[in-house]
Amino acid sequence: MSTLSDVRGRPLYLQNDGLDFLRVKAFIEDIDIQEPLIQAAVPLPVIGDLGQVKLDAAILDQLGSANAQLSDTLNRLYIQWESDLEIVYLKELIAFAPNLDPYLPAVLTTNPIAAFMERETSGTTIIDASVNVNNGVYVGATLGQDAPPTGFTAVLYDGVNDFGNIYSAGLAGLVDFDEGCALVWFKVLNVGVWTDGTVRQALKVQRDANNNFLVTKRSQDNQVRLEIKAGANSEIFDITASPTGWNSYMISWSLSGDLIEYYKNTTLVGTDSGLVAATGAGLNANNTGIGAANTVSTQEFTGFIGPVILWDTPATAAIIALGAV
């Protein structure tokens, strides 16, 4: 398996094929890899009428010398073509080196509507690594913290005025309260959080009071609540938990299949039925986010949050596998 260090000094070309997205052509071990790309962080020189970009050793040096740093930076690169003022968002440049980031490529193959990986190390942008690129905004959170099992770093929400606002008009048009799935990775700051008597929201996505889904650390000792509410009807499952390490929590729902499933670390811990049809449309701009209940930061989470991934389909085997610790 080629790594990024194997590639240094060899040309890697990105070319606008005249399609809706870009393809990467990497000549590594005579393999012509053509994959959608992810975002990266520094502008690259554009050469040729077709907007080719040559990533040679000098460019790689600009992006960072260590493999992990380079992979993380490439995940956030924005390339702007000379002939077009619009930014072209690239998807998955590191597809040619999956051993450096096995998690994100696996996420993208499941076609999420949003993939907030929470692995930024600077700035205020919450990058949505899905094809939809509906980015959010960090408020007060500390980036580049404790590493989750999914790789790279996570974000610290310290319980004081921190919030990750993931609302956008684009996301509002994609979230489906009739059919969907949500996965959240988190780690509490310390064991005392489990018995602090305070509600703490890891994830809240709300249309209105009658339609939302949540992953919550309850005020009751040692409990995580997974909840989907549609058409004013709530389906709730409480998990007894007090781990100090990383865990994943997932809720999957299907109106057509009359099934709600609750997972912890890929283990199915409960099921429900009786979901009713969602009402209304869109999302609440103030109550859709990570690490708190709303933009004024009530019910703040205290700990580290890693990937937060949303789908408009119920969980599949491939989706469930993304919660493996």
The Cα–Cα gap between 102 and 116 comes to 16
Closest by alpha carbon to 146, among 121, 127, 115? 121
Structure tokens at 260: 């709600």
Alpha-helix runs per DSSP H in the chain: 4-7, 57-63, 67-74, 103-108, 169-172, 317-321
Which pLDDT score, from 0 to 100, does residue 101 have? Answer: 60
Partner residues linked to 157 by β-bridges: 303
- pLDDT reading at 7 higher than 90: no
The Cα–Cα gap between 162 and 299 comes to 10
- pLDDT reading at 22 higher than 60: no
Render pLDDT for 94-130 as a digit per residue (tens, 0 to 9). 333 333 466 887 888 899 999 999 988 888 989 888 8
The Cα–Cα gap between 221 and 197 comes to 7
What's the pTM value of the predicted model, to 2 decimals? 0.73
- Helix, strand, coil % over all residues of the chain, rounded to 5: 15, 40, 50
- Given strand 87-89, what is the order of strands in its sheet? 39-40, 76-80, 87-89
The Cα–Cα gap between 125 and 150 comes to 20
Partner residues linked to 28 by β-bridges: 31
Render pLDDT for 28-63 as a digit per residue (tens, 0 to 9). 222 233 333 333 333 333 333 333 344 444 444 444
CB of 177 closer than 8 Å to CB of 154: no
